[in-house]
Amino acid sequence: MTPARDDALGAFARYRADLVSLAYRMLGDMARAEDMVQEAWLRWSQRAEDPSSPRAYLITIVTRLCLNELDSARARREESRSDRLPEPVALCGSSLEKLEDLDQVSMALLLVLQRLAPAERAVLLLHDVFDFEHAAIGDLVGKSPLACRKLLERARRRVADERRTLAAPHDEHRRLLHAFLEAAGDGDMNKLVDLLAEDAVMITDGGAEGVIGDGVRNLAEPLVGAARIASFVAHTTRRSGRTLRPEEREFNGRPSILFFRGEEPFAALLLAVADGRIQRVFFHADRSRLRYLAPPEN
């Protein structure tokens, strides 16, 4: 490796974790995020001159790549699905491992980001996470600084509305997760209702196959209400729960359950908890996007 390339690699490596974190939150998919960062490396290594701020330069590249990706026809189709969930990730051993604020990549917050328009997403992350000024953000998203401020205010309100689902201590989250799993396995609808907030929301993502269990189709729309969720979970578990093997994992900074069928990941269960109740239930059963998760633990 030449000295110049060695210097370029060293500078890129210093900021790689930030770039993956940005791309993952923009796209909600780790594989695509890694692709964006790899493309950023190619552009960085072929640059004609050194920028005054390598970090800002690289963040700008990744943001533009993500916005272009989100503008593609395929991405627009995926993002328009009301049942699409961000890809869960195990932070340990990943580029996100050293992220200080784990709430930034919780499933609940990622879902809010996914519901924002791409420009809103970029403005929120660049300003509140990466300390970009409105003028620089405006150049990136093709908006005036004033328009960026309005986008930021709107995005902040959306995020603040969901923050209440991020408040539970780790131990309480784990307790409710295992209580939910036990009640589902027993088909105990009364216990499930007690564990869920009255206005709880459940989202399932069965991917292209649209299947989340044996003979169980994906929910096309979010399911709202403790009683409705309890009925669906009890019914689904009776049909396919006994064919799946659960293991506790930690995804997106929260205790979670990874279900295996044989040796292959089949689905991931993640919750959002607050006020002693389960506020959100996320059941991710898109096998094509779960293959990146860790193998079963021995």
Q: Residue 218: which CATH number?
A: 3.10.450.50
22-31, 70-79, 226-235: the lowest-pLDDT one:
70-79
For 110-149, write each residue's pLDDT tens digit: 999 999 999 999 999 999 999 999 999 999 999 999 999 9
Q: Please compute the mean of the pLDDT values over residues 10-33 and round it to a whole number.
A: 91
The CATH number linked to 59 is 1.20.140
Statement to judge: residues 157 and 10 lie in one domain? yes
The answer to whether residues 53 and 128 belong to one domain is yes
Res 298 pLDDT > 50:
no
Kindly give, in sequence order, each residue whose CB lies less than 8 Å from that of residue 132, ignoring residues fewer than 6 positions away: 56, 59, 126
Nearest to 167 by CA among 238, 73, 271, 266: 271
Let me know whether 46 and 151 are in one domain. Answer: yes
How many structural domains is the chain composed of?
2
Q: Which domain holds residue 61?
A: 3-165
Is residue 184 classed exposed, middle or buried when 0-12, 13-18 and 19+ CB atoms within 10 A define those classes?
buried
The pTM (predicted TM-score) of the whole model is: 0.88
Structural domain contains residue 254: yes
152 with 184, same domain: the answer is no
51 and 186 both lie in a single domain: no
Evaluate whether residue 298 is within a structural domain. Answer: no
Q: Which helix (H) or strand (E) holds 198?
A: strand 196-205
Residue 207 has pLDDT above 90, yes or no: no
Mean pLDDT of the chain: 88
Among residues 126, 143, 165, which one ends one of the domains? 165
Give a yes or no: residue 297 inside a domain.
no
